[in-house]
């Protein structure tokens, strides 16, 4: 049986968008409490009854969270223009080697805005 699971995590970080017009509010340094949702899909393990252990997913995320939390995202290599879309792809690139069942990454900057990266 094939199923989809999700695991969410949050972090606080600042950023600014260098390519928007100077008068745009996102051109100024500001912060968000980001919510990231990882989507994983696969066959249920017939004995354990799950796609993947959530503990393993959380462990794969811990180093990434340390890298992102309470940082200015623009200072991180590859995030010089840290839009939600670019951040979602950046997170996917770092987690996919550790989470082979990862199929998408959603980044929420606010409760009403999100970007979904589906490679």
| 72 given a catalytic annotation | no
The single residue of 19, 70, 80, 118 carrying the catalytic annotation is: 70
- Asked if 12 and 2 count as a contact pair (C-beta separation under 8 A), the reply is no
The single residue of 26, 41, 72, 98 carrying the catalytic annotation is: 26
- Asked if 83 and 16 count as a contact pair (C-beta separation under 8 A), the reply is no
The single residue of 32, 61, 92, 109 carrying the catalytic annotation is: 109
| 77 given a catalytic annotation | no
| 109 given a catalytic annotation | yes
Q: Which residues are catalytic?
A: 26, 70, 109
């Amino acid at each position: 049986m094939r199923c989809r699971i999700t695991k969410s995590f949050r972090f606080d970080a600042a950023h600014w968008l260098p390519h928007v017009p100077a008068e745009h509010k996102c051109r100024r340094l500001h912060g968000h409490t980001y919510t990231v949702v990882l989507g994983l899909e696969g066959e249920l393990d017939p004995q354990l009854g799950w796609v993947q252990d959530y503990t393993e997913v959380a462990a794969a995320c811990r180093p990434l969270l340390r890298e992102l939390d309470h940082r200015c995202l623009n200072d991180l290599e590859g995030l010089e223009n840290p839009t939600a879309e670019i951040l979602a792809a950046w997170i996917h690139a770092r987690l996919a080697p550790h989470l082979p069942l990862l199929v998408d990454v959603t980044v929420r900057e606010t409760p009403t805005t999100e970007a979904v990266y589906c490679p």
